């Protein structure tokens, strides 16, 4: 076996997103000599082109309704207008600030950063874009995922979530392809900013995998807000017209004229071009890096975490996996990440949040279940004369009274669910929820008043 001291680094990380940065920092803290390579910007999908800038757009879009509702609370609101360039630039400036913090974190932890494409050219050897070669005892693949474009003529005229934060002008007519969380989040954002939004989905439902009652409620509310949906409509052809607009042709439906087409049709693991297969790393059919419970690949000293493994495509999961990898390999403490009972949220208008089993999943897995719901109009909506209703749902195992799922749609649902997810993860019972005194007046109190 080669002496570890003969390598340039103990750990070389390819990809400086949330998972890679956490792994690098923790491994360095355990005494490892660490380097990381990133061909784009430090921070990865979440910080640069994902959850952070998107959540800031969500905040910005909420003011459209808040300004209207303010009048019912006694505020006199004058003429208002929205400036896309002002919000866009503020968001991008915040992204740059956060990128700097990530870079400083790596520097503070003595991690060497190579701002370059990197690929494997041998079992322990990495080549950078300029031809420089580096050796490492262990290699971590943390390159994340990349948006998928459908294979249809004219697809190049559409954009993905990577480019949406950089739009020069705000579009008046937007078509969003897809039915998942990215599609529904941007549908709400663009709609609140005043665009005419049409969501086109090749299947017959939105948000597959989420509780059916909750996603149906979002569909109803979205349609009431003016968002249009076309289901079972595959794309056939996209044409760019003389005035710069798009003519989008769908199978079995009338064409749609739009100023912007956003593809939100999923993300694929970004494993191509890294030289993985040449050194024996096994990949799944979709390009995901195959790993075991400790994030180890088919090659003993090569590991992978985050979206490139396609286990659970969520930033906190990538962070947890990166931390566990570093503790396992360099901290002398083997750690497995528990991928069950992970809380999830969709920052739609209103937001959705859920943890644990949906009603359908519980019935399939447990057989006998009890369902408790609260369908109510939040106090703020009542005074604002807004008819939008929240829906909270609890799924309980009838055999032992354990709460196995919580699902909700309504204002601040993600903020409320984070604490409630602890109870579900801990296996608490419906009786224990009932024994907890309500915090009144709040929306969250509905969780301990469910009948």
Q: Which residues are annotated as a binding site?
A: 55, 178-185, 266, 307
* b/e 47-85 (16+ beta carbons within 10 angstroms → b): bbbbbbbbebbbebbbebbeeebeeeeeeeeeeeeeebe
Rounded to an integer, what distance in angstroms lies between the CA atom of residue 318 and that of residue 342?
12
Q: How far apart are CA 213 and CA 367, in angstroms?
A: 19
Radius of gyration of the chain (CA): 24
CB atoms under 10 Å from CB of 209, counted, come to 11
* Nearby residues of 11 by Cβ (< 8 Å), 6 or more positions away: 23, 24, 27, 32, 33, 34, 35, 136, 137, 138, 139, 140, 329, 330
114 bridge partner residues: 37
In order of 41, 143, 270, the CA distances from 44 in angstroms are: 7, 8, 12
Query: For 226, which DSSP code?
Result: T
Q: Is 440 labeled as catalytic in the residue annotation?
A: yes
Residues placed in the known binding site for FAD: 55, 307
Which residue in 30, 62, 138, 440 is the catalytic one? 440
At 35, list the tokens. 């380097």
Task: With beta carbons less than 8 A apart as the criterion, state whether 162 and 49 touch.
Answer: yes
Closest CA to 152 of 195, 216, 202, 220: 202
CA distance 214 to 352: 7
Determine what percent of the chain falls in helix, strand and coil, rounding each to the nearest 5. 35, 25, 40
Backbone phi and psi for residue 255, each to the nearest 5 degrees, phi listed first: -65, 160
Q: Count the neighbouring beta carbons within 10 Å of the beta carbon of residue 334.
A: 11
State the binding site for NAD(+).
178-185, 266
Q: Which residues are catalytic?
A: 440
């Amino acid at each position: 076996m080669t002496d570890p001291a003969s390598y340039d680094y103990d750990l070389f990380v390819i990809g400086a997103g949330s998972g890679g940065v956490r792994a690098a920092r923790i491994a360095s803290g355990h005494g490892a000599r660490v380097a990381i390579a990133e061909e784009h910007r430090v921070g990865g999908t979440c910080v640069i082109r994902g959850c952070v800038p998107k959540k800031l757009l969500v905040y910005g879009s909420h003011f459209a309704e808040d300004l209207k509702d303010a009048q019912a609370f006694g505020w006199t609101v004058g003429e208002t207008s929205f400036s896309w360039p002002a919000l866009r630039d503020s968001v991008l400036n915040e992204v740059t600030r956060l990128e700097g913090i990530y870079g400083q974190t790596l520097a503070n932890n003595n991690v060497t950063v190579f701002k370059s494409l990197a690929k494997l050219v041998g079992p322990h050897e990495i080549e950078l874009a300029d031809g420089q070669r580096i050796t490492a005892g262990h290699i971590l693949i943390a390159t994340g995922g990349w948006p998928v474009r459908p294979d249809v003529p004219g697809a190049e005229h559409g954009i993905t979530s990577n480019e949406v934060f950089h739009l020069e002008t705000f579009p008046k007519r937007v078509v969003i392809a897809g039915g998942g969380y990215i599609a529904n989040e941007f549908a709400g954002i663009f709609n609140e900013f005043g665009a005419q939004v049409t969501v086109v989905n090749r299947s017959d439902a939105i948000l597959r995998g989420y509780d059916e009652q909750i996603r149906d409620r979002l569909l109803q509310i979205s349609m009431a807000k003016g968002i249009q949906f076309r289901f079972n409509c595959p794309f056939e052809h996209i044409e760019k017209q003389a005035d710069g607009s798009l003519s989008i042709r769908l199978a079995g439906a009338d064409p749609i004229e739009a100023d912007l087409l956003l593809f939100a049709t999923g993300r694929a693991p970004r494993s191509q071009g890294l030289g993985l297969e040449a050194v024996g790393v096994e990949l799944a059919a979709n390009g995901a890096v195959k790993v075991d419970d400790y994030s180890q690949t088919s090659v003993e000293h090569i590991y992978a975490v985050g979206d490139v493994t396609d286990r659970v495509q969520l930033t906190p999961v990538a962070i947890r996996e990166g931390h566990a990898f570093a503790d396992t390999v360099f901290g002398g403490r083997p750690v497995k990440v528990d991928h069950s009972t992970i809380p999830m949220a969709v920052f739609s208008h209103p937001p959705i949040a859920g943890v644990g089993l949906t009603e359908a999943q519980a019935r399939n897995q447990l057989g006998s279940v009890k369902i408790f719901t609260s369908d109510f109009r939040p106090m703020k909506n009542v005074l604002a004369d807004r008819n939008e209703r929240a829906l909270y749902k609890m799924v309980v195992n009838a055999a032992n009274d354990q709460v196995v799922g919580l699902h909700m749609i309504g204002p601040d649902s993600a903020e409320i669910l984070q604490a409630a997810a602890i109870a579900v993860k801990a296996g608490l019972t419906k009786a224990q929820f009932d024994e907890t005194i309500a915090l009144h007046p709040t929306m969250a109190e509905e969780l301990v008043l469910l009948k």
